[in-house]
Amino acid sequence: MSLNTSLLKQQVYIDGAWLDADSGKTIEVTNPATGEVIGTVPFCGRAETAQAIAAAQAAFPGWKALTAEARANYMHKLCDAIMEHLDDLAVLLTSEMGKPFAEAKGEITLGVKYIRFFAEEGKRIYGDTIPSPWADRRIVVTKEPVGVVGSITPWNFPNSMIARKLGAALGSGCTMVMKPAEFTPFSALVYGVMAEKAGLPKGVINIVTGDAPAIGEEMCENPALRKITFTGSTRVGKLLASNAGKHMKKISMELGGNAPFIVFDDADLDRAVEGAIASKFRNSGQTCVCANRIYVQAEVYDAFAQKLKAAVAAELKVGNGLQEGTTQGPLINEAAVDKVAAHVKDALEKGGQLLAGGNRPEGPGTFFEPTLITGATQEMAVAHEETFGPLAALFRFETEQEAIRLANDTQYGLACYFYSKDLGRCFRVMEQLQYGLVGVNEGVITTEVAPFGGFKESGIGNEGSKYGFDDYLNVKYNCIGGL
């Protein structure tokens, strides 16, 4: 499998044109599996972002005025173009991000599902009529797109994180300026190519790459941009939310997580192991919904640990994502490897036992072995910080209440998982976990038809489902009098 260079766009996409940064500066993008440079993208700042916002603002009235069906037709054409190039796009994604080719295809396909969902859901943006307290007036509530949306996205799902936002924006009648992560800009820039293939009006989608703080500031401060949608770290999310707040912009924030994965003593252990492998090691542990703390009840602790160890050995294979059979690609960069290594070291120093992995393999690329540590405790860094890598730490607990208390003992509240066959326990635990997403006897639960959003410091708002439109729409109360 080789990279189709016609899809490797090394310029930004503004108002239907491919451009360089005003300064002529660029940033290099490398393949984390090999360390080789794939290409460069423009290092844009505020001026180019302002230009992109102006283009999106100019395109907004025309896009908004289309019927929902006409917008949906464009969106489906965009999806058709993406699916036509699925293999090439997946090679591109794997080359810049590292995840296995099959996962890259899965991600792009899921992205398309989000866009198609919102294309159709756009036909159901209903308003209300409210019984009027006045005999001579009527009350009609309508919903309108907010306008230009700015999107800032991370590298771990370089296609689908954009698709979720783009689908909601375009389906509701908004236009967009997107800024992808510096590590994975090509999977974003290719949306420009697909927009051209689909014949989207110019300015509806604009893509800028470069100086993240400068682009973020322009998005927050430029009055023409009305909403910021962000997926990334809680640190940057807070920065953007506070800056956007100063300018009274709508925001949606999908931030960090620290997902607990609880195995009760009445669980189907094989199913729990399957879920733990999927939840912990998908994308080499680099998802915001990855299990970060695995709590296992004392009675089944040893049995679960042994089964998980066997599954790690049998099912996980580290390698270049473009090689057949690879399930564990590289981590995104050196800093990511250092963080996993630090969490492993800290856990072992504080009494944890290494059951599998623990090392960085020899050779090029930023790889780390799938790692299993037993005897984990709340004193360890892995209990409180998101590892964002392939480290599964197993904590022991005794009672249901203890598990719930430990699971909730974090400032995060994105995803959590638990396994039990007791129906009463399932409801009790489900209702007490302070998380936006709860997997009961399931380890991977993301779908475009369900809401995805965090509690506490994991964010504000939801993506996907009918709720995913909320922050892209203004509610308007029309009072019709003099009847």
Catalytic annotation, residues: 254
Buried/exposed 112-142: b ≥16 CB within 10 Å, e otherwise: bbbbbbbbebbeebeeeeeeeeeeeeeeeee
- Where in 22-51 is the site for ligand ADP (CB under 6 A)? none
Q: Which stretch binds ligand ADP (CB under 6 A): 63-71, 146-154, 162-170, 274-282?
A: 146-154
Cβ-based nearer residue to ligand ADP, 122 or 329: 329
Question: Between residues 236 and 294, which has the closer beta carbon with respect to ligand ADP?
Answer: 236
User: Does 474 contact ligand ADP by CB under 6 A?
Assistant: no
Among 152-160, 311-319, 363-371, 416-424, which window interacts with ligand ADP (CB under 6 A)? 152-160
Q: In the bound complex, what is the minimum distance in angstroms from residue 258's beta carbon to ligand ADP? A: 14
Among 57, 153, 172, 387, binds ligand ADP (CB under 6 A): 153
Note whether 337 binds ligand ADP by CB under 6 A: no
**How far from the centroid of its chain's Cα atoms is residue 234's Cα?**
13
Does the protein bind ligand ADP through residue 216 (CB under 6 A)? Answer: yes
Name which of 169 and 473 has its Cβ closer to ligand ADP. 169
**Interaction residues for ligand ADP, span 343-402 (CB under 6 A):** none
CA distance 413 to 260: 10
Stretch that binds ligand ADP, among 52-60, 94-102, 212-220, 450-458 (CB under 6 A): 212-220
Any contact of residue 459 with ligand ADP (CB under 6 A)?
Answer: no
Q: Which stretch binds ligand ADP (CB under 6 A): 233-241, 274-282, 353-361, 446-454?
A: 233-241
Question: Exactly one of 233, 306, 377, 408 binds ligand ADP (CB under 6 A); which one?
Answer: 233
Secondary structure of the chain as H, E, C letters? CCCCHHHCCCCEEECCEEECCCCCCEEEEECCCCCCEEEEEECECHHHHHHHHHHHHHHHHHHHHCCHHHHHHHHHHHHHHHHHCHHHHHHHHHHHHCCCHHHHHHHHHHHHHHHHHHHHHHHHCCCEEECCCCCCCEEEEEEEECCEEEEECCCCCCCHHHHHHHHHHHHHCCEEEEECCCCCCHHHHHHHHHHHHHCCCCCCEEECCECHHHHHHHHHHCCCEEEEEEECCHHHHHHHHHHHHHCCCEEEEECCCCEEEEECCCCCHHHHHHHHHHHHHHHHHCCCCCEEEEEEEHHHHHHHHHHHHHHHHHHCCECCCCCCCCCECCCCCHHHHHHHHHHHHHHHHCCCEEEECCCCCCCCCCCCCCEEEEEECCCCHHHHCCCCCCEEEEEEECCHHHHHHHHHCCCEECEEEEECCCHHHHHHHHHHCCCCEEEECCCCCCCCCCCECCEECCEECCECCHHHHHHHEEEEEEEECCC
Count the residues of the shown chain that bind ligand ADP, applying the rule CB under 6 A.
14
Q: Are strands 37-42 and 128-130 parallel, antiparallel or unpaired?
A: unpaired
Q: Which is nearer to ligand ADP, 262 or 290 (CB)?
A: 290
Binding mask 154-173 for ligand ADP (x = CB under 6 A): x-------------------
Chosen residue from 15, 182, 346, 442 binding ligand ADP by CB under 6 A:
182
Q: Does residue 269 interact with ligand ADP by CB under 6 A?
A: no
Stretch that binds ligand ADP, among 34-42, 92-100, 209-217, 356-364 (CB under 6 A): 209-217
213 near ligand ADP, rule: CB under 6 A: yes
Among 7, 110, 140, 212, binds ligand ADP (CB under 6 A): 212
66 in contact with ligand ADP (CB under 6 A): no
Interface residue with ligand ADP, options 188, 236, 373, 391 (CB under 6 A): 236
Question: CB-wise, 219 or 473, nearer to ligand ADP?
Answer: 219
Q: Which of 29, 79, 152, 163 binds ligand ADP (CB under 6 A)?
A: 152
Q: Which one of the spans 17-25, 30-38, 70-78, 151-159 is the region binding ligand ADP (CB under 6 A)? A: 151-159
Q: Can you give the binding site for ligand ADP, defined by CB under 6 A?
A: 152-154, 179, 181-182, 212-213, 216, 232-233, 236, 239-240
